[in-house]
């Protein structure tokens, strides 16, 4: 997924590779929870009882933040906060570069890990890899690791990390996307011209105490098919306790087009195989009334936030969800506004 780009030459290249964003004439009419450009949101309930949301870079801010007393708001944009004030790390293009799709987990009181997608430097600046950073406060400042957390550059790099603590096993995981469409052959999100490049979702176990040390090798749990268009991305795991199943939220099609949507797949085992649902959870033109919804992030209690186009860019939206159906269906319980 693509965040705010501050370097004009890079912006020009991206516009050549990707279609124009959704027209402002077709943007969402649902009232956003946060009416600013806040793409690829991640939500966290802190041990303090405050809800936080984090988003892709904007201008000089590498990772944006907002807070609220409940998932439905009211949300306050923390305009003076940057989780990575000194930049996303020495392996990246540095402060002000494209830093996308953050995820924050609280390991213990005063112990946090931030996962994010960092733009590589030099000749590899067209690619991103997954980074990790640590802090003693939920809002940072976070100190990046010296090396990427995951960087399969020969496969196109990696983006869209999301942390997950499995309530069944007590193990900790990170899911992320192999950014294969960065190696694509053109068209929608650079990957609808044959041969189509895979964009699989991987599951990586990590040490439960530090959230960083890798445990074993990553496992592929999902990939695109013809119905998904050029890609699947933005993975997020949720445990449906009533249904006894793991739910993998993901987005498909292209972020800049109306077909972009929030989808899900389910599995009785965290390592898959995940079975895709027949219909999107949230799509352009449905009851949520959001244009090009995507980048969903969930809470254990059954709340998700996601972005959708509005007059200010990709704004923050949210809704309640419920599982537990005999057919494994995840249902929308209510739209936040």
| 226: alpha, beta or left? (left if phi > 0; alpha if psi -120 to 50) | alpha
Q: Please state, in angstroms and rounded to a whole number, the distance separating the CA atoms of residues 69 and 63.
A: 21
Kindly compute the dihedral angle of the four CA atoms of residues 71, 167, 212, 266, in this order, to the nearest 10 degrees: -80
CB 239 within 8 A of CB 264: no
CB 182 within 8 A of CB 156: yes
What does the block give as tokens for 112?
Answer: 């946090």
Which is catalytic among the residues 179, 233, 257, 303? Answer: 233
> Between the CA of residue 78 and those of 38, 55, 63, 71, what are the distances in Å?
12, 11, 11, 16
Which is catalytic among the residues 40, 106, 205, 236? Answer: 40
Q: Please state, in angstroms and rounded to a whole number, the distance separating the CA atoms of residues 134 and 144.
A: 7
Annotated active-site residue 86? The verdict is: no
Annotated active-site residue 326? The verdict is: no
Phi/psi of residue 126, nearest 5 degrees: -80, -5
Q: Please state, in angstroms and rounded to a whole number, the distance separating the CA atoms of residues 27 and 256.
A: 11
Q: Which residues are catalytic?
A: 40, 233
């Amino acid at each position: 997924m693509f965040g705010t780009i501050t370097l004009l030459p890079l912006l020009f290249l991206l516009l050549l590779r990707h279609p124009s964003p959704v027209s402002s004439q077709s943007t969402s009419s649902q009232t956003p929870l946060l009416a600013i450009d806040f793409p690829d949101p991640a939500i966290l309930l802190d041990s303090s009882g405050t809800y936080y949301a984090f988003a892709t870079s904007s201008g000089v801010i590498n990772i944006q933040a907002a807070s609220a007393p409940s998932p439905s708001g009211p949300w306050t944009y923390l305009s003076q906060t940057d989780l990575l004030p000194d930049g996303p790390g020495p392996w990246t293009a540095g402060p002000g570069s494209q830093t996308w799709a953050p995820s924050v987990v609280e390991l213990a009181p005063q112990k946090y890990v931030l996962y994010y997608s960092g733009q590589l430097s030099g000749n590899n600046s067209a690619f991103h890899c997954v980074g990790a950073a640590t802090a003693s406060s939920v809002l940072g400042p976070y100190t990046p690791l010296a090396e990427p957390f995951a960087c399969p550059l020969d496969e196109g790099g990696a983006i869209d990390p999301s942390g997950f603590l499995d309530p069944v096993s007590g193990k900790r995981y990170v899911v992320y996307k192999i950014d294969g469409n960065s190696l694509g052959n053109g068209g929608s999100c650079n990957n609808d011209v044959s041969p189509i490049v895979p964009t699989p979702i991987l599951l990586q176990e990590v040490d439960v105490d530090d959230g960083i040390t890798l445990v074993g090798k990553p496992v592929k749990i999902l990939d695109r098919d013809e119905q998904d268009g050029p890609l699947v991305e933005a993975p997020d795991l949720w445990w449906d306790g009533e249904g006894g199943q793991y739910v993998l939220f993901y987005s498909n099609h292209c972020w800049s087009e109306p077909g972009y949507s929030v989808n899900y797949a389910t599995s009785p085992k965290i390592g898959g195989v995940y079975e895709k649902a027949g219909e999107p959870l949230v799509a352009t033109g449905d009851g949520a009334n959001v244009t090009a919804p995507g980048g969903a992030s969930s809470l254990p209690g059954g709340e998700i936030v996601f972005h959708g186009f509005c007059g200010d860019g990709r704004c923050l939206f949210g809704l309640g969800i419920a599982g537990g159906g005999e057919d494994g269906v995840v249902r929308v319980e209510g739209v936040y506004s």
